[in-house]
Amino acid sequence: MRFTRSTTRNGATALVLAAAMGACRAEGHRTVPDAGTKPGPWVYPVASARPVVQPPVVDAGPLATGIPVPLSKVQAEINKDNRQPYAGPAGAVEGTVRVSGDAAPASKIEIAKDCGDAANVYGKLFREGPGRVVADAMVGVTEYDGFIPAKTDVYPVAIRGCAYDRRTIALTYGQRIEVKNYDAKEPYLPDLVGAKMAAKLMAIPRGDAVRLYPTEVGQYLLAESMGKKWMRADVFVVRFSTHAVTGTDGRYRIDGIPAGQAKVSAFLPAIGKTVDRKVTVKAGETTKVDFVLPFKIEKETAPPAAASGEAPIK
């Protein structure tokens, strides 16, 4: 992996485009392996008298606009039946996510004292507000009848005071992340752990946004590679677009849900808890769905001392 530091706005933009173009060219001239598999041993033309096996071209079509992979690959993941975007009667789902049980314990990560927002964002296991509302909970609506594409190719993330503006990121496959640094002096090096990156690009103060490309469905980690180990956000790339992440008020809203039966799920990555609810969405109406996620601190207990050098009874 190559690390490149840019100090100009134009230089930053050029580097991002170069990385994307390189990935595009690579995808256009080789077979794209399925998620979770390793690419095969490709054989390219060489100066030899032996027969040369040319790599098959599986997809020569256009690239997805959000990430540098063939559009057909994205289509196969999010809309394999090639359905038209849903245009029938629809409603909305909204509500609040709270926690119950134990309060969030303090984080064990040491955070720099001169970073204004970082302590508020990362100081505890999860962010809890008045009335035990919880931020950074992912809420998704599934099991409805219809295909709903994402409204945009870009998912913006802001950096302020040595902190990302959220700790959970939910993407529809085909979207990219754009990280913009709003600090006046401090540079950062955003790193999408789990993704293949031709280069890492510096997020310079108030400069161009850094583009990050999750090219497979799955889970990633948005980290920072210049020593700020506390800057982390869980990234979930899913096959549906009907999702949201709660803010500091614990609220969420998801519009455009096809009328009928659906499942609403709330998940808080910091505690690994999920709660599901079956609902009936009515056309032109808002269905209120609140969640309470239970949390209990696991007590660490030391094993009983052995007597006379014998192992304790299990």
Kindly state the average pLDDT of the residues 35-43: 30
Mean pLDDT of the chain: 81
Element at 121 (helix H, strand E) = helix 118-122
Condensed to tens digits (0 to 9), the pLDDT of residues 277-297 reads 999 999 999 999 999 999 999
Question: Residue 4: what pLDDT?
Answer: 36
Q: Is 38 exposed, middle or buried (0-12, 13-18, 19+ CB in 10 A)?
A: exposed
The Cα 177–Cα 192 span in angstroms is: 9
Domains observed in the chain:
90-295 (2.60.40.420)
The Cα 220–Cα 170 span in angstroms is: 10
Question: Residue 114: what pLDDT?
Answer: 86
Question: Residue 117: what pLDDT?
Answer: 83
Condensed to tens digits (0 to 9), the pLDDT of residues 119-132 reads 999 999 999 999 99
Question: Residue 197: what pLDDT?
Answer: 81
CB within 8 Å of 161: residues ≥ 6 apart = 115, 116, 117, 118, 183
Is residue 2 over pLDDT 60? no
DSSP symbol at 209 = P
Q: Which two tokens stand for residue 265?
A: 């799920």
The Cα 102–Cα 99 span in angstroms is: 9
In Å, how far are 7, 9, 117, 226 from 205, measured between CA atoms?
Answer: 10, 10, 16, 14
Cβ atoms of 236 and 170 within 8 Å: the answer is yes
Condensed to tens digits (0 to 9), the pLDDT of residues 93-128 reads 999 999 999 999 999 888 988 887 899 999 999 999
Core vs surface per residue 241-274: b (16+ CB within 10 A) or e? bbbbbbbbebbbebebbbbbebebbbbbbbbebe
Cβ atoms of 12 and 5 within 8 Å: the answer is no
Is residue 36 over pLDDT 60? no
Cβ atoms of 44 and 241 within 8 Å: the answer is no
DSSP symbol at 312 = P
pLDDT band at 89 (very low <50, low <70, confident <90, very high): very high
The Cα 34–Cα 40 span in angstroms is: 11
217 CB neighbour count, 10 Å cutoff: 18
55 CB neighbour count, 10 Å cutoff: 14
pLDDT band at 59 (very low <50, low <70, confident <90, very high): low
Please state, for a pLDDT cut of 70, what percent of the chain lies above it: 76
The Cα 267–Cα 273 span in angstroms is: 6
CA angle 76–86–220, rounded 5-degree value:
45
Is pTM beyond 0.85? Reply is no
Report the DSSP beta bridge partners of residue 46.
none
The Cα 307–Cα 142 span in angstroms is: 56
In Å, how far are 60, 64, 212, 239, 290 from 73, measured between CA atoms?
Answer: 11, 9, 18, 12, 35
Q: Is 284 exposed, middle or buried (0-12, 13-18, 19+ CB in 10 A)?
A: exposed
Give the residue from 238, 261, 283, 281 showing the smallest Cα distance to 139: 238
Give the residue from 235, 233, 268, 261 showing the smallest Cα distance to 139: 268
Condensed to tens digits (0 to 9), the pLDDT of residues 256-279 reads 999 999 999 999 999 999 999 999
